[in-house]
Structure 1
Amino acid sequence: MRQALAAIIFVAISAPAWAQMTPEGLWRNIDDKSGEAKAEIRIQGNSAGVLTGVLEKRLAKDAKPDDLCKECSDERKNQPILGLEIIRGAQKAEGKDVWEGGKILDPENGRNYTLRLTPIEGGKKLEVRGSLGPFGRTQTWVRVQ
């Protein structure tokens, strides 16, 4: 009985830490050049474990609430940037704490990049890698509590 109680307590204490080692949640992305917060993106998974991410809040000083994705080339063309789905199709890689196989949209230039998401620092930060062929860049997003 004592061992069962100890196991239950251990699981209850550890569960929040396990839940954080996922890209799901609300994230703040930071501008590579200025170091200023640009936006908050909410990443959610569906029942099949496929992630999507929606630009939920714009934080950049020059952002206007009615800005449109004029450079987008798919059904998101001329859609409001606020509320735009910018992450599509990422899934957890087998045996790793990495989500890949999806795309991420840069609404400033309309380009879609191959995506890799890696939670780091116990899930407090998220490495977001966008690639186009052999070229790419990695941003570190911060979890919003």
Structure 2
Amino acid sequence: MYKNLLLATLASALFSAHVFAEDISGTWQQIDDKTGSAKAIIKIDKEANNTYTGKIIKITPRPGYTPRETCNKCPAPYTNDPILGMEIIKGLKHIAGTNNYEKGRVIDPLAGKVYDAKVRLNATGKRLTLRAYMGVSTLGRSQTWIRLD
């Protein structure tokens, strides 16, 4: 009996640690939600204040598309900033006991708009879904990103 209890406790601890051990820090391939093509590579880091930020480290070339070099019609402090190296995600906070991250902000450097953001990491830790919205999450758009590291 004790052996079964010990095995069940150990399996439960390993399973729960695996499910929530992953965080979103790392390198991600951004996939365009309209075309399905690769758009950019984003490096997400955990900051000292336990929030997450994401920076564009590479713009993925696409056939027939000339990438913009600077942020288009972006508000301060992004006005005319280069897109490569731009911090596009700020302030994401992990929701304890889940694979969700909320209360962030994301900028679309092609449209020049800043949105509220939340992220959900899938169970394997290999994909995340970024939801960008204004006011109400149901009125937003989602992108899937794929972990590269």
TM over 0.5: yes
Where do residues 60-75 of structure 1 align in structure 2 (5 Å cutoff)? 60-61=61-62, 62-64=65-67, 67-75=69-77
Work out the CA distance in 1 between the residues paired with 2:50 and 2:66.
Answer: 32
- Give structure 1 stretches of 5+ with no counterpart: 1-6
Work out the CA distance in 2 between the residues paired with 1:55 and 1:15.
Answer: 30
For 2:117, the equivalent position in structure 1 comes to 115
CA RMSD across the alignment: 2.4
- Give the TM-score taking structure 2 as reference length: 0.80
**C-alpha contact (below 8 Å) 2:33/2:144 kept by paired residues:** no
Q: CA deviation at 1:25?
A: 0.7
**C-alpha contact (below 8 Å) 1:23/1:118 kept by paired residues:** no
Q: CA deviation at 1:34?
A: 1.9
**C-alpha contact (below 8 Å) 2:99/2:122 kept by paired residues:** no
Work out the CA distance in 2 between the residues paired with 1:89 and 1:98.
Answer: 13
For 1:3, the equivalent position in structure 2 comes to none
For 1:24, the equivalent position in structure 2 comes to 25
- Give the TM-score taking structure 1 as reference length: 0.82
Query: Structure 1 residue aligned with 2:95, among 89, 93, 111?
Result: 93
Q: 1:133 to 1:127 in 2, by over 3 A?
A: same
The one-character-per-residue Cα deviations of 1:12-68 (angstroms, maximum 9, x if unpaired) are xx988765x21111110111222110000011011221111001100032244x710
The count of corresponding residues between Structure 1 and Structure 2 is 134
Query: Structure 1 residue aligned with 2:141, among 128, 137, 144?
Result: 137
Worse-matched range after superposition: 50-59 or 133-142: 133-142
For 2:41, the equivalent position in structure 1 comes to 40
Tell me which amino acid in the other structure corresponds to 1:100: E
For 1:4, the equivalent position in structure 2 comes to none
For 2:50, the equivalent position in structure 1 comes to 49
Q: CA deviation at 1:96?
A: 2.1
**C-alpha contact (below 8 Å) 2:132/2:141 kept by paired residues:** yes
Q: CA deviation at 1:137?
A: 1.0
The one-character-per-residue Cα deviations of 1:99-125 (angstroms, maximum 9, x if unpaired) are 111101111111111110111041000
Instruction: Give identity over the alignment, percent.
Output: 35
Q: What SS is found at the alignment partner of 1:101?
A: strand
